[in-house]
Amino acid sequence: MDAYERITRNAAEVVTEEEVEALAEDPDGKRAYVGYEPSGVLHIGHLLTANKLIDLQEAGFEVVVLLADVHAYLNDKGTFEGIRETAERMKEQFLAYGLDEEATEFRYGSEFENDEDYVLDLHELERETSISRAERAMSEIKSGDTVRVSQAVYPLMQALDIEYLDVDLAIGGMEQRKVHMLARDVLPKAGHDAPTCLHTPLIADLTSGEGKMSSSSGVSISMEDSTEEIAEKVNDAFCPPSADPEGDLENPVLQIFEYHVFPRFEDVVVERPDEYGGDLRYGSYDALEADLDSGELHPADAKGALADYLDDLIAPGRERLRELREA
């Protein structure tokens, strides 16, 4: 797998391809970042971007994880003190999940976002941005139903973070694309470069296959789930024997195999009772998808395997979380 292929695999979108190709020619020392509002428990959505960070580290990138404490504060997620503690826990779980500690730079937003230079630059972006544009950028991200001024400032700070963290590539889920497009528009107006962006797909809601999975509503798989809870949630998931369900629906079980399991495991064994033909082994996602779609692989067997592999992925973080809570 060449660098470009590794950088872009499983990406829903890259802006722009030309810019990423240029980065891929000499990835060593290039910097990529993702910002997260601190959350005490990583869920499967966080892990999707984390998988991309691991890809980038393997391609030679330096990775910056922004623990966006100020953003969380602006988005009404609590006091600075509480957010800070939450962020520490989040960092530990990322390391337990498999980010390379040597190649990962964890930064708190509050380390630099309150500096005078930063604030003055931020004001310049505020002058260049309409309220409605900022609000639109936040529509997929904000919490609560009342739009506050803090939420208009929020995406502008995301834009400026890219500049201040000296990042070559901004990573985020597809829900971040409006923020990133705003950044590409507004940063040049303030004399900065437009950032190159890479967006990961959104996994469909587990139980319905509709839209995107949300940790705030509906079922999500997280680092605090026990082996039994994972098995139960996976078993309850929507999973027609099809790679492309009718309508706008997706098959979340396949999506998780594609975006979470195969990127981290060389091959996948599906244990299957002898009466149904015995175990199956897959070296690629495509092969598994084809078998499910054709009926060779029954959804129930696929779910059993998915729960086992997810549990393997989650176990180190779950253990770390337990240690942190006991400490």
Q: Which one, 52 or 303, has the nearer CB to RNA?
A: 303
If one asks whether residue 164 binds RNA (CB under 7 A), the answer comes out as no
Among 181, 190, 235, 315, binds RNA (CB under 7 A): 235
Q: How far is the CB of 291 from RNA (least distance, A)?
A: 11
Please, which of residues 298-317 interact with RNA by CB under 7 A? 298-301, 303
Strand pairing partners for 169?
32, 196
Q: Which one, 79 or 217, has the nearer CB to RNA?
A: 217
- Separation of alpha carbons 130 and 3, rounded Å: 38
The two most distant CA atoms of the chain are separated, in Å, by 69
Q: Which helix (H) or strand (E) holds 14?
A: strand 13-15
Q: How far is the CB of 236 from RNA (least distance, A)?
A: 5
If one asks whether residue 146 binds RNA (CB under 7 A), the answer comes out as yes
Question: Are 197 and 10 contacting, i.e. CB atoms less than 8 angstroms apart?
Answer: no
Q: Which of 171, 222, 205 is nearest to 40 (CA)?
A: 222
Please enumerate, as own/partner, the contacts of 265-268 that have beta carbons within 8 Å and a separation of 24 or more.
Answer: 265/309, 268/305, 268/309
If one asks whether residue 188 binds RNA (CB under 7 A), the answer comes out as no
**The one segment of 14-22, 62-70, 128-136, 237-245 that binds RNA by CB under 7 A:** 237-245
Q: Which helix (H) or strand (E) holds 65?
A: strand 62-67
Quick note: the x/- pattern for RNA over 249-288, rule CB under 7 A, is -----------------------xx--x------------
If one asks whether residue 318 binds RNA (CB under 7 A), the answer comes out as no
If one asks whether residue 134 binds RNA (CB under 7 A), the answer comes out as no
Among 111, 115, 228, 236, binds RNA (CB under 7 A): 236
- Separation of alpha carbons 69 and 84, rounded Å: 7
**CB proximity list for 88: less than 8 A, separation 6 or greater:** none
Q: Which one, 283 or 295, has the nearer CB to RNA?
A: 295
Q: How far is the CB of 280 from RNA (least distance, A)?
A: 10
Query: Which residue bears the tokens 């309150």?
Result: 114
Q: How far is the CB of 57 from RNA (least distance, A)?
A: 35
Please, which of residues 205-224 interact with RNA by CB under 7 A? 207-208
- Separation of alpha carbons 210 and 325, rounded Å: 34
**CB proximity list for 226: less than 8 A, separation 6 or greater:** 318
If one asks whether residue 35 binds RNA (CB under 7 A), the answer comes out as no
- Separation of alpha carbons 102 and 325, rounded Å: 25
- Separation of alpha carbons 245 and 231, rounded Å: 23
Q: How far is the CB of 239 from RNA (least distance, A)?
A: 3
If one asks whether residue 291 binds RNA (CB under 7 A), the answer comes out as no
**CB proximity list for 321: less than 8 A, separation 6 or greater:** 41, 89, 92, 93, 223, 224
If one asks whether residue 80 binds RNA (CB under 7 A), the answer comes out as no
If one asks whether residue 142 binds RNA (CB under 7 A), the answer comes out as no
> Binding residues for RNA, per CB under 7 A?
146-147, 207-208, 235-241, 272-273, 276, 298-301, 303
